[in-house]
Amino acid sequence: MQNEQRHFKFYIDFDGTISTKDIGEHMFVEFGDAKKSYEIIKEWLDGKISSQESWIQLCATVKDFDKAKFNKYLDTCTIDEGFKNFLNYCTKYKFDTTIVSDGLDYYIDHISKKNDFAHLDIYSNKVVVDQEGNLTPSFPYTDEECKDCANCKRNHILNSSSDEDITIYIGDGWSDTCAAQYCDFIFAKRSLLKFCESNSIPYYPYKTFDDIIKIVENLRTKKKIKKRNQVRLKRRDAYMQG
């Protein structure tokens, strides 16, 4: 692909990628039943329950949820030190940036507003807190064929990009493993990195978003970019399945 034709589109995980820790996990360990929460998360990671079922069970462990206390906890949560630099970089070159999370909108909304990126396209699961402090999750972006994510990240990628775009996925966890395979380039750490290595999928390791900026700048200024043919085939198969 020639330089002048390039259109970069970034799809970014939230928990452990933008945020420095997995807030969705810590939320239930800190404010629910810690032991039961770890058991539920392990069942999901082992493929025994779906992501959607794990959220339902996790929310059920929380009693008398205290919004004020949770908001105070969220104010202590930090984001990747290079993320704001990365957003400024994307703004400079008019690159599209979308956040795709299998987490919950409550804490993502809070942190995105606090750190001035609530204007981005953000797709996640939803949660409602009733007057008794009970949590009820909902899943507006689920896919019946996909059990790995309650919010199907793959579909967001397919619905908002074309074969002409250069798609880039940035993530760290198990919920990123499906979606990342539908992007031309992958930035990975932790579980996503291990998955890519185990399945011989090309990726760039990174520690912070500042590392990503350096590599993307190299891609942006290259004369030609070779996109992975496997991505084109997976996208074609997904479109054919409907």
109-121 confidence digits (pLDDT tens): 999 999 999 999 9
pLDDT at position 1 is: 55
pLDDT score, position 5: 54
Query: Cα separation of 30 and 62, whole Å?
Result: 10
pLDDT given at position 220: 94
Provide the pLDDT confidence category of residue 145 given band limits of 50, 70 and 90: confident
Query: Which of the 8 DSSP states describes residue 7?
Result: -
pLDDT > 90: percent of the chain:
88
What's the pLDDT score for residue 7?
85
- For residues 153-177, average pLDDT: 95
Q: What is the pLDDT of residues 183-205, one digit of tens each?
A: 999 999 999 999 999 999 999 99
- pLDDT tens by residue, 4-47: 557 899 999 999 999 999 999 999 999 999 999 999 999 999 99
* Mean pLDDT value across the chain: 94
Instruction: Determine how many CB atoms are found less than 10 A away from the CB of residue 81.
Output: 12
Q: What is the DSSP string of 43-55?
A: HHHTTSS-HHHHH
Question: 29 burial class (0-12, 13-18, 19+ CB within 10 angstroms)?
Answer: middle
Buried b (16+ CB within 10 A) or exposed e, 2-27: eeeebebbbbbbbbbbbbeebbbbbb
Region for 20 from its dihedrals, namely left if φ exceeds 0, alpha if ψ lies in -120 to 50, beta otherwise:
alpha
pLDDT (0 to 100) of residue 2: 52
Q: Is the pLDDT of residue 53 over 80?
A: yes
Q: What is the rounded CA–CA span in Å between residue 185 and residue 188? A: 10
Residue 141 confidence (pLDDT) above 70? yes
Displacement of CA 56 from its chain's centroid (Å): 19
Query: Are the C-beta atoms of residues 41 and 33 closer than 8 Å to each other?
Result: no
Dihedral sign computed on CA atoms, order 105, 107, 110, 114: negative
C-beta of residue 167 within 8 angstroms of C-beta of residue 9: yes
Structure confidence by residue, pLDDT tens digits, 192-242: 999 999 999 999 999 999 999 999 999 999 989 989 999 999 999 988 876
Report phi then psi at 205, rounded to 5: -75, 155
